[in-house]
Chain A
Amino acid sequence: MTAVASQVPEPRVPPVELLGVRFSYGREEVLRGVDLSLGPGEVCSLMGDNGAGKSTIARLAIGELRPTAGVVRLFGESPSSFGRWDLVGYLPQLPPEAVSRFPATALELVSAFQGAGARRRRSSRTQRREWSLHALERVGMAGHAARMIRELSGGQLQRVRLACALANGPRLLVLDEPTTGLDRESREELCALVAAAHSSSGLAVLLVTHDQEVIGGLGGSVLVVENGLVSRRES
């Protein structure tokens, strides 16, 4: 099983597939048969009202939640037995207080995400530091590596968190409302960084957002989550 888990999935395997997925929080059924397929290098944005189930779909895709019915596949595998987490970058919503009290530098945070699994075991601390500085450089935050994350602005913090999500060169990036609370300039910067990562490395992106500008900036398909189902929005 370990051998299977450590294999690199076929490049053509869809990073995310949901087939007839249903999900309930208690007695309230939020998703009532969702079908979604995100191919390699594709961008898919999920839109919808608050509570429609957008974030739930993202959380199901990475195995944080389990469906009450239907099938979820992450790179062709069930998320519960998935072992190649270095292929997945995840940027969930995080309450501001979770960051404001966390005593770590930007470099420490990125280093902790750096090199998951076997790659980490084979690497030295110096190597991981170099990789982490490079990851911070890619998001324009290398100059802030030694700063505590609680001292960063909202936009700077999201860029550091994006560096964490991209630290292992993933093939799939899942972003849950990444621009919430950011000013226009920071939103544009973050959007440009995601677009650059997508175009340079063929990254598949699953984006949950209310932000039309981000959707416009990234392109790709747009799905609307409504009444527990998803439908394609014609652009």
Chain B
Amino acid sequence: MLEYAFMQRGLLAGLLLGVVIPLVGMTVVQRRLSMIGDALSHASLAGVAAGLVGGASPIAGAIVACLVGALCIEGTRRALRGQAELAVAVILAVGVGTAGVLSGFISNASSLNSYLFGSILTMSNNEVVTIVAVCVVAAVACAALRRSLFLMSFDERQARTAGVAVEAVNLAFMVVVALVVAVASRTVGSLIVSSMMVVPVACGLQVAHSWRQACALSSLAGVASTALGLVASYYLGLRPGGTIVLVAIGLLLLMFVVRRLSRGA
């Protein structure tokens, strides 16, 4: 399996995203922003469609669309405090609508479909380089902002009086989420990326006994489901994106059982 260059590229990109998506997802889940992954992934689809129509790189289109979507969500969230859900739903609707309209102008519909469910095994070297760069940026940002993100996840008001520049950190974090969602839509797919932001985190939360453990176990669950999903998809001839998520769901069920047994013991 590993003698094929496409599998090597797929595994490299998949495993890096397996670490980074749950790392970002931990803060997203704790701040009850899970819908943001959905909204941005739909915005990324609009960017992909724009790229395909305009003859530009779809992944570049996805990055631009996700960044614009993230800034719109953050701007609306600040303007209409307490109505962040509305901003997220509006961006999701704009993404779906734009992607739907633009898809009518794409000559080869299968190219857009590959972004709906991902095509981790057909990535070019340039795309892998982009994914590696985004993963490094996201991991460094999460590490550098870990205290701020922890405090903001607990309570934004107390975070502010603990010296956290809440608005600036919010903006930086939204940019990171946008970048991760944009590149992940190429690999696991726009319809699946938000699941990868939540399900591995849910796995980690079942058995973790601290924040640090929860972060580590979430990323471990992300890596394990990506690796197992890719191997299973290779040998069983399945679509990789969907297989990865189903493996993650299987892990979550296993964690439920482990938790129940450990409580019973």
One digit per residue, 1 when the CB lies within 8 angstroms of any chain B CB and 0 when it does not, for chain A 33-65 equals 000000000000000000000000001001110
Q: Which residues of B contact A62 (CB under 8 A)?
A: 161
Please, which residue of chain A has its CB at the minimum distance from the CB of B208?
Answer: A103
Determine chain A's interface SS by DSSP, over half rule.
mixed
Q: Is the CB of B163 within 8 A of A116?
A: yes
Q: Is the CB of B210 within 8 A of A104?
A: yes
Q: With A85-B162, A85-B163 in contact, do A108 and B157 touch (Cβ < 8 Å)?
A: no
Is A75 an interface position by the 8 A CB rule?
Answer: no
Q: When chains A and B are docked, how far (Å) is the Cα of A116 from the Cα of B210?
A: 22
Q: When chains A and B are docked, how far (Å) is the Cα of A85 from the Cα of B212?
A: 25
Determine chain B's interface SS by DSSP, over half rule.
helix
- Stretch touching chain B among A88-96, A187-195, A205-213: A88-96
Q: When the two chains form the complex, which single residue of A63, A64, A103, A146 contacts B205, counting CB atoms closer than 8 Å?
A: A103
Q: Is the CB of B209 within 8 A of A112?
A: no
Q: When the two chains form the complex, which single residue of B30, B150, B155, B210 contacts A94, counting CB atoms closer than 8 Å?
A: B155
Q: Which residues of A contact B211 (CB under 8 A)?
A: 103-105, 108
Interface of chain A residues 62 through 113 with chain B (CB within 8 A): 62-64, 85-86, 88-90, 92, 94, 98, 101-105, 108-109, 112-113
Q: How many residues of chain A have a CB within 8 Å of chain B?
A: 27
Is B153 an interface position by the 8 A CB rule?
Answer: yes
Q: Is the CB of B155 within 8 A of A104?
A: no
Q: Is the CB of B157 within 8 A of A164?
A: no
Q: Which residues of B contact A120 (CB under 8 A)?
A: 147
Please, which residue of chain A has its CB at the minimum distance from the CB of B205?
Answer: A103
Is A148 an interface position by the 8 A CB rule?
Answer: yes
Please, which residue of chain A has its CB at the minimum distance from the CB of B156?
Answer: A64
Q: Which residues of B contact A92 (CB under 8 A)?
A: 155, 157-158
Q: Is the CB of B214 within 8 A of A103?
A: yes
B32 shortest CB reach to chain A, Å: 9
Please, which residue of chain B has its CB at the minimum distance from the CB of A148?
Answer: B209
Besides the known contacts A104-B154, A112-B162, A148-B210, 18 further A-B residue pairs in the complex with CB atoms under 8 A apart: A85-B160, A85-B162, A86-B163, A90-B158, A92-B155, A94-B155, A98-B155, A102-B153, A104-B210, A104-B211, A105-B211, A108-B150, A108-B210, A108-B212, A109-B154, A112-B150, A113-B158, A146-B210
Task: State the 7 A-B residue pairs at the shortest beta-carbon distance, nearest first.
Answer: A116-B163, A85-B163, A104-B211, A90-B161, A103-B214, A105-B210, A108-B211
List 7 contacting pairs A-B, 8 Å CB cutoff, sorted by A. Answer: A85-B162, A90-B161, A92-B157, A104-B154, A104-B211, A112-B151, A164-B158
